[in-house]
Chain A
């Protein structure tokens, strides 16, 4: 009886593991997907909309606006 219990226990764990794997795959298989072309177009649009705020990309019109500009020393005129 003990042995039966152990065998059943192991099989139960295996079953649980397999069940959760299958459940996970079922969840993933059922999600709605969009074509790559559409997804990429959206990414491109996001970039175009936010380009002007992206200072690492477009730089600063004057280094005075860069909060991390080199600390300048004062010149005595």
Chain B
């Protein structure tokens, strides 16, 4: 009935009609998702044998930060690690030897995000300064000399990553948006609007799956985005509090999330719904970071109770607890070849487990 010009003349009626349509669509979506919920994950997994005990031990402790470690990222060479801290420093470590190769002081404290570029020649970081700044790494001169501010949000930057090349960088912010920037020109190539609260985490789909990424935020939603169009292609709800961490399942068909509600969840992209919740009554502290092992069978999660829980992703059972940190585990990442897990904590240290 209402089309183009007519809409403007009778605006109130159309808004109501759209509102009703929106409600109707939401109900239909819920019904569609329920219809396909034929067999729970745990039933399928029950037929699998229990895993043998894991042999994961703390192998290295990286000491050097003078403040809470907030973020870390591995270099593709599987041995270097970048970490950023509340003390305003970014440190590049050789995880094999525990040597600090570079230490960069940022002009602000609370460097909440850091990332290694795919070539290993550059790192990016940012936080309360609302900016993402890249630092080309060099042993010849002071790394801070060549730094370059690439993009600015209207609130803190919470996460960043290089999507597949050194030329672009993807950021998430407290201003509820994500943005894709060209590193050389500093231009914003795409922006992603849809979250109703701070974006806390993002992760790229494995490259076989093309140009998508997932973001999680304080609006308790996980959203899947098309990098080229800027559109949200799927949305997942279920968490009862802020989502602090999101990670793609190694096949690209699912995402794991960790939240302040003390649970981790698995959402399948093709079934378009939550298919697992990793929770125990005894676990009451929020999850800050999640990551999968290479096959996806193990889900590692770092909690506010200073521990890392290792979950059997299929059987939804906790396999083991990694103790060692003396304060909240704030970040956690599997090494590029899957041989180790790095964890960072408010106890000022990073640890490598293998």
**Chain B residues within an 8 Å CB radius of A12:** 8, 11
What is the 8 Å Cβ interface bit string for chain A, positions 28-60, against chain B (1 contact, 0 not)?
110101111111111110110111011111010
List B contacts of A64 (CB < 8 A).
none
Q: Which residues of B contact A72 (CB under 8 A)?
A: none
Q: Is the CB of A50 within 8 A of B296?
A: yes
B8 touches A57 (CB 8 A): no
CB of A74 within 8 Å of the partner chain: no
- Tell whether, in the assembled complex, residue B295 and residue A19 are in contact, meaning their CB atoms are under 8 Å apart: no
B79 lies within 8 A of A54 (CB)? no
Check A56/B294 contact, CB under 8 A, given A39-B270, A43-B249, A44-B314. Answer: yes
Asked if B22 lies at the interface with its beta carbon under 8 angstroms from chain A, I say: yes
Do the beta carbons of A28 and B339 come within 8 Å of each other? no
B104 at the interface (CB under 8 A from A): no
Is A53 a contact partner of B295 (Cβ separation < 8 A)? yes
Complex Cα distance, B47 from A41, in Å, reads 12
CA distance A24 to B79 in the complex (A): 42
B18 near A22 with CB under 8 A, answer yes
Q: How many residues on B have C-beta within 8 angstroms of the other chain's C-beta atoms?
A: 67
Find chain B residues with CB under 8 A from A59 CB. Answer: 54-55
A-B contact number at CB 8 A: 174
Write the nearest CB–CB distance from B256 to chain A, whole angstroms. 12
Taking CB atoms, residues of chain B closer than 8 Å to A15 are 7, 11, 14-15, 18
Sampled A-B contacts (14; CB under 8 Å): A18-B22, A37-B38, A38-B271, A39-B253, A39-B254, A43-B249, A44-B48, A46-B296, A47-B314, A56-B294, A56-B341, A57-B51, A66-B354, A68-B352
One of B27-35, B85-93, B112-120, B174-182 at the interface = B27-35
Chain A residue contacts of B253, Cβ below 8 A:
39, 42-43, 46
CA distance A35 to B51 in the complex (A): 27
Chain B residue nearest to A21 in the complex (CB): B22
B32 touches A33 (CB 8 A): yes
- B residues with CB within 8 A of A: 7-8, 11-12, 14-15, 18-19, 21-22, 25-26, 28-29, 32-33, 36-41, 44-45, 48, 51, 54-56, 59-60, 78-79, 95-96, 194, 231-235, 249-251, 253-254, 268, 270-273, 275, 293-298, 313-314, 334, 338-341, 352, 354
A71 to chain B, nearest CB (A): 8
Q: Which residue of A lies closest to B340 (CB)?
A: A68
A43 touching B233, Cβ below 8 Å: no
Given the contacts A35-B36, A36-B275, A43 and B339 also touching, CB distance less than 8 Å: no
- A22/B25 in contact, CB under 8 A: yes
Residues in B with CB closer than 8 Å to A26 are 25
Check A29 against B28 for contact (C-beta < 8 Å): yes
CA distance A19 to B3 in the complex (A): 12
Which A residues lie within 8 Å of B339 (CB)? 55-56, 66-68
Q: Is the CB of A56 within 8 A of B338?
A: yes
Given the interface contacts A37-B39, A68-B340, does A25 sit within 8 Å of B29 by beta carbon?
Answer: yes
B44, A37: Cβ atoms closer than 8 Å = yes
Please name all residues of chain B whose beta carbon is closer than 8 Å to the beta carbon of A14 when the two chains form the complex.
11, 15
Q: Residue of A at shortest CB range from B339?
A: A55
Contact of A36 among B21, B271, B334 (CB under 8 A): B271
Determine how close the nearest CB of chain B comes to the CB of A22; give it in whole angstroms. Answer: 5
